Structure 1
Amino acid sequence: GTSEWLASDIVEACEIADRLGLIRPIVEQSQYNIFTRDKVEFEYADLYKKYKLGLTTFSPLAYGTLTGKYSSGKPDGSRFTKPAFTNRALVPTYEERVEVADKLKPIAKELGCSLPQLATAWCVSNEHVSTVLVGASRPEQLEENLQAIEFVDKITPEVKAKLDAIYKVVPTVPEMNPLAYLRKRHL
C-alpha cells in the first residue's frame, strides 16, 4: 500500500509493477474528513476503477476540530494548546473549522448522533473507503467513535448536501512530483 501519495505516483507505481510483473499497490492510506477531501474525492477518482484501488483513511475528526470540544476555546491540555498546533503548520484554518463544526451540530442532533459520530459516519459512507482509522485518548472516545457505524445509513444524499452547503469544497490541482518524469524514463 501507499500513504498520502499523489495519484500520479500511484499510477506510476502500478505501471512499474505491471511492467516488472510485481503486485500493484492495492490500498492508499489518506487523510479524509469533511475538510480534507481533494485526494479521496477528486484526485484518486480514476484510480478506483482503473486500478481497483482501496482506501484506508485517517483523521475523520480533523485533528479533533470535528468533536465540538473547541467551540468555547481551547481546553487545557488539548491538542491545539501544544506548540506543534499553535503555529498553524498542521491546521492553518483552525478557526474556520471550529465555526463549521458548530454549524454541523444541528445535523448531528437531527440524526440522533454526536458530532464525532456524524463526522466518522460521513467518512465511512464514501463507497471507496474500506476502513476509517479512528483515534482516541480515552476508552469512552473510542466507544463513541465506533458507534458511528450505527449512523452510516443515515448519511443520505440529502444529508451530504446539507453538509456540503455548510462547507463548500473547491477542488485543488495536486502538485506534480518533479521526479516522476525522470523515474518514468529510467524504470
Structure 2
Amino acid sequence: MEYRRLGRSGLKVSALSFGSWVTYSNQLDGKQARECMAAARDAGVNFFDNAEGYAAGESERLMGQALRDLRWTREHYVVSSKFFWGLSDDPNVRHTLNRKYLLSAVDNSLKRFGLDYLDLIFCHRPDPNTPIEETVWAMHDIINRGKALYWGTSEWSAGQIRTAWDIAERHHLHKPVMEQPQYNLFVRQRVEQEFATLYADIGLGLTVWSPLASGALTGKYLAGIPKDSRGALKGYEWLHERLLDEKRTAAVRALKPIADELGCTLSQLAIAWCLRNPHVSTVITGASRAAQVVENMKALDVLPKLDDALAARMDAACAGAIDAL
C-alpha cells in the first residue's frame, strides 16, 4: 500500500480507502461489513469513509460494530463522517450546516460509531442558507472540543472552499484541509480545472469518491441492469440513466482493450487512472463482498504500468462521455 499526505496536513491516508455508501445496510449485514473491512485492512487500507446520511445512520452503526469486533488499535485507522442531510425533517436538522445541527450531529455520530472522536469530518454539501462563517466556527469548535481532528468539505465549489479557508485564516481557526468530490474518467472538471489553484494556494487534499462512476466503469452494465447490482437496488433507480448512457457505454467498450493489454480488469484500470492524479490523497473504493475488495486493491499494481501514452488513449476513449460542469 502507498500512503499519501492528506493535503498539506501531516496525516497520512492509504492511497486506496474503503467507503460504506450504498453497501452498508443496503447490501451488507454486520458480518459481511466486517469481512470487507478486514480484507481492506489486510491490504494496508487505513482510511474508512462514512456519513451520517448513509442508510440513515445505520452505516455508521455497522462500521462502529465492525471496528469493535476487529479490535484494531485506534491510532492505526482513520475514520470519517459527513454532515448536512440530517436524519429528520426538523427545520434545524434537514439540509443545513448551522451551528445547532453540526454540534448535535457529531455527538450523535460518535454514539452510533461508539468512538471517542472522528479523524475526519466533512460538510457533506454547501448550505446556501447558513453563513459560511457560522459553519467554519462550528467546525473549529468541534475540533477544539476533541470530537474530530480535521475538517473539510464535500462537493463544494472552489469559491466556497476558498471563502471558508480565508475566514479561518482571518480568525486563526482550524482550516478546511480536504474536499471529497466525485472523480472518475467521466467526471473530472472540478478536480482537474476548478480546484487547480487551491492545491498550491491552500494545500487542499482530495478524498475522491465514485472512481467507477457508480459501477458504469466496471463493464457490468453493458448489457443492462443485472439483478444483483447496485443499479437494481430499490431507491437507486435514478442511476439507470447514467449507467445505461450510450456515450458512457461506448467509452467502456473502448477502454476494454487497454485493460486487456495491461492484464487487468476495467475496474482496476479506472481506479488506477484516478490514482495517477498527484492531488488525490486517497481514492475511496466500495465493495459488497471481501473478494471484491481484494480485486480493487490490485489497482495499485496497475498504476506503475499506466504511462502517459496509455492515459492519453484512455482520455481519447472517454472524450465523448466526459460530463461538463
Q: TM-score, normalised by structure 1?
A: 0.85
What is the identity, as a one-letter code, of the residue corresponding to 1:159? L
CA contact (8 A) 2:214 2:243 kept: no
Cα offset for 1:160? 1.2
Which residue number corresponds to residue 137 of structure 1?
Answer: 288
Which residue number corresponds to residue 110 of structure 1?
Answer: 261
Deviation digits for residues 54-77 of structure 1 (CA, Å, limit 9, x no counterpart): 111011111000111112222113
| Structure 1 segment 124-163 matched on structure 2, within 5 A | 124-163=275-314
Which residue number corresponds to residue 48 of structure 1?
Answer: 199
What is the identity, as a one-letter code, of the residue corresponding to 1:109? D
| Structure 1 segment 36-185 matched on structure 2, within 5 A | 36-87=187-238, 91=242, 94-168=245-319, 172=324
Which structure would you say has the larger RCO, counting Cα contacts within 8 Å and 6 or more residues apart? 1
Deviation digits for residues 91-127 of structure 1 (CA, Å, limit 9, x no counterpart): 3863322221121111011111110000000001111
For residues 170 and 64 of structure 1, the distance between their equivalents in structure 2, rounded to whole angstroms, comes to 16
Structure 1 residues 97 and 84 mapped into 2: Cα distance closer, same or farther (>3 Å)?
farther
Deviates more, 1:69-78 or 1:105-114: 69-78
Q: In structure 2, list runs of 5 or more residues that go unmatched.
A: 1-151
Cα offset for 1:171? 7.6
Q: TM-score, normalised by structure 2?
A: 0.50
Deviates more, 1:162-171 or 1:54-63: 162-171
What is the identity, as a one-letter code, of the residue corresponding to 2:181? S
Give the match's secondary structure for 1:55: strand
Cα offset for 1:84? 3.8
For residues 74 and 93 of structure 1, the distance between their equivalents in structure 2, rounded to whole angstroms, comes to 8
Give the match's secondary structure for 1:91: helix
Which residue number corresponds to residue 182 of structure 1?
Answer: none
Determine whether 1:3 maps to 2:154.
yes
What is the identity, as a one-letter code, of the residue corresponding to 1:161? A
CA contact (8 A) 2:158 2:194 kept: yes
Structure 1 residues 134 and 104 mapped into 2: Cα distance closer, same or farther (>3 Å)?
same
Which residue number corresponds to residue 182 of structure 2?
Answer: 31
Deviation digits for residues 120-178 of structure 1 (CA, Å, limit 9, x no counterpart): 000011110010010001111111101101111122111111011111276845xxxxx
Deviation digits for residues 37-59 of structure 1 (CA, Å, limit 9, x no counterpart): 01111110000011111111011
CA contact (8 A) 1:84 1:90 kept: no
CA contact (8 A) 1:32 1:58 kept: yes
For residues 24 and 89 of structure 1, the distance between their equivalents in structure 2, rounded to whole angstroms, comes to 38
Q: Percent identity?
A: 46
What is the identity, as a one-letter code, of the residue corresponding to 1:67? T
For residues 196 and 204 of structure 2, the distance between their equivalents in structure 1, rounded to whole angstroms, comes to 10
CA contact (8 A) 1:85 1:91 kept: no
What is the identity, as a one-letter code, of the residue corresponding to 1:10? I
What is the identity, as a one-letter code, of the residue corresponding to 1:50? D
For residues 222 and 324 of structure 2, the distance between their equivalents in structure 1, rounded to whole angstroms, comes to 28
What is the identity, as a one-letter code, of the residue corresponding to 2:292? Q
What is the identity, as a one-letter code, of the residue corresponding to 2:268? Q
Rg (Cα) greater in structure: 2
What is the identity, as a one-letter code, of the residue corresponding to 1:127? P
Larger proportion of strand: 2
CA contact (8 A) 1:121 1:148 kept: yes
Structure 1 residues 170 and 142 mapped into 2: Cα distance closer, same or farther (>3 Å)?
closer
Determine whether 1:19 maps to 2:170.
yes
For residues 177 and 227 of structure 2, the distance between their equivalents in structure 1, rounded to whole angstroms, comes to 41
CA contact (8 A) 1:65 1:94 kept: no
Which residue number corresponds to residue 6 of structure 2?
Answer: none
CA contact (8 A) 1:121 1:149 kept: yes
Superposition RMSD in Å: 2.0
What is the identity, as a one-letter code, of the residue corresponding to 1:128? H
